[in-house]
Amino acid sequence: MAESTLKLPNEAAVPKENRIGLKALDYQGGKSTLCAGCGHDAVSNQIVRAFYEMNVKPEKVAKFSGIGCSSKTPAYFLGRAHGFNSVHGRMPAVATGAMLANHHLISIGVSGDGDTASIGLGQFMHLVRRNIPLIYIIENNGVYGLTKGQFSATADEGSKLKTGVVNDLPPMDLCALAVELGCGFVARGYAGDPKQMVNILKAAVAHDGLAVIDVISPCVTFNNHDGSTKGYAYSKEHDELLHQIGFVQSYEQIEIDYEPGTVREVTLHDGSRLLLKKLEEDYDPSNAVQALQRSHKAIEDGAMLTGLIYLRPEKKSFISLLNMSDKPLWSLTEAETRPPKEALDQIMRELM
């Protein structure tokens, strides 16, 4: 299998302190209570690393989740950020409200495949439609972990539970759905490929708007056996890379030379650059039709398609459409939000 990341000259050892003077430890959260080996814990570590390397001040971050093992994880990373473990499938609404109140927050949400593809499907779709600035991670294990291993709606057709029960229904591809609904940033990662995930996460931090990341995150307790299609062994074997990914920070002066036509470069909202190196095909992540075609083919082939599936960084976020005051709404004072007495007098006169 090909390397999922591009070798870049900036890949020196990770510094002990980042550019805002914080240590990796400052990005840690509480101790995880998940099963040892759970894919979700790997993703938490990847989030810690991406935010550390992106020099994001944790106090500026707000974490959201629904309900599930996956949704517990915001307690296990970025302990210095406020977190909100809400109700099952409804995190999009809570995150939307918080972003309206304070659009300066850097928001990250963690959901599960049950949380998003079943109970929360409606809210997920409207979140995509609104394009709320939020990194929305689906830790996808094909089962409901927290309620002890029932199939979720992303379970592959023919995959088997430990009990031998076979799933007869087709899987929902949440990436394809997000593309269909016009999401400006759609990616799939694999918890077992930290390098690729960290690059995807960094790009998501740099993106202005909703970033949907479907990460295959094996449940070692309920879906990691023979016959399961979202376990470690199966995922490793069926990982199909769209491209190799490299990420270059906005402040990095890195010259990269590659053979012409082999690397696509996308500039993100904050000026950082995403490099996508062509593998066996020339995949254009700005082409929604190609993205959907490729996603469908992967399902037919029983493959796990990873990489940046769709990217339109220029799409306007909901926040920018609202023409809100630059100051976060929560911080507006009485002088700014209570119209003067003359305004009430005028309204009253009109009603007389």
Partner 1 sequence: MPDSMTATAVLDEPLTGAASIVNDCTIHVATVNGSGSMSSNSVLMRSIFQMGVPVSGKNMFPSNIAGLPTWFTIRANKDGWIARKKEVDIMVCMNASTAREDVEALQPGAVCIYDAPLACKGIREDVTFFAVPFAKLAGELSQDSRLRKLLTNMIYVGIVAERLGIDRDEIINAIGKQFKGKKKAIDPNVAAIDKGIEYARENLPKQHHWRIERMNATAGKIIIDGNAAAAIGAMFGGCTVVTWYPITPSSSLCESLIDYMKEYRIGPDGKATFAIVQAEDELAAMGMVLGAGWAGARSLTSTSGPGISLMAEFAGLGYFAELPGVIWDIQRVGPSTGLPTRTAQGDIFEVYYLSHGDTQHIALIPASVAECFEFAGEALDLAEMFQTPIFVLSDLDLGMNNWMSDPFVYPTKPYRRGKVLDAKQLEELGGKWGRYLDVDGDGIPFRTLPGTDHPMASYFTRGSGHDAHARYSEKPSDYKATVDRLAKKHETAKQFVPPPVIDRRADAKVGFIAYGTTDVALEEARHQLRSEHGVETSYLRLRALPLTADVKAFVEAHERVYVVEQNRDGQMGDLIRLDVGDIQHKLRKILHYTGLPCDARSITDSLLQMENDGTRVVRIGLGAEATTQTIGED
Ligand X SMILES: Cc1ncc(C[n+]2csc(CCOP(=O)(O)OP(=O)(O)O)c2C)c(N)n1
Residues 210-229, interacting with ligand SF4 (CB under 6 A): 219-222
Among the listed ranges 212-220, 239-247, 264-272, 328-336, the one in contact with partner 1 (CB under 8 A) is 328-336
Calpha distance 194→152 (Å, rounded): 24
With respect to ligand SF4, which residue has the nearer C-beta, 107 or 116?
Answer: 116
Among the listed ranges 20-28, 108-116, 123-131, 252-260, the one in contact with ligand X (CB under 6 A) is 108-116
| 343 touches partner 1 (CB under 8 A) | yes
| 33 touches ligand X (CB under 6 A) | no
Do 156 and 142 meet the contact criterion of CB atoms below 8 Å apart? yes
- DSSP assignment letter at 229: S
- In the chain, the amino acid numbered 220 is V
Q: Residue 11 class from Cβ within 10 Å (0-12 exposed, 13-18 middle, 19+ buried)?
A: exposed
CA geometry: angle at 156 spanning 70 and 152, to 5°? 40
Choice from 66, 83, 92, 112 touching Mg ion (CB under 5 A) = 112
Choice from 69, 119, 248, 298 touching ligand SF4 (CB under 6 A) = 69
Calpha distance 217→32 (Å, rounded): 15
Instruction: Find residue 144's DSSP bridge partners.
Output: 150
Residues 270-309, interacting with ligand X (CB under 6 A): none
| 291 touches ligand SF4 (CB under 6 A) | no
Residue count, binding to partner 1 (CB under 8 A) = 60
Here's the x/- map for partner 1, 70-89, by CB under 8 A: it reads as: ----xx---xxxxxxxxx--
| 90 touches ligand X (CB under 6 A) | no
Side by side, the strands of the sheet bearing 263-267 are 243-248, 273-278, 263-267
Q: Which of the choices partner 1, ligand X, ligand SF4, none does residue 222 contact, using the CB cut-off of 5 to 8 A by kind?
A: ligand SF4
Among the listed ranges 33-41, 294-302, 314-322, 341-349, the one in contact with ligand SF4 (CB under 6 A) is 33-41
Instruction: Find residue 313's DSSP bridge partners.
Output: none
Which of left, alpha, beta for 149 (phi over 0: left; psi -120 to 50: alpha)?
A: left
Q: DSSP string spanning 252-280?
A: --------TTSEEEEE-TTS-EEEEEE-S
Q: Which residues bind ligand X (CB under 6 A)?
A: 67-70, 88, 112-115, 139, 141, 143-147, 152, 219
Q: Which residues bind ligand SF4 (CB under 6 A)?
A: 34-35, 38, 40, 69, 141, 145-146, 219-222
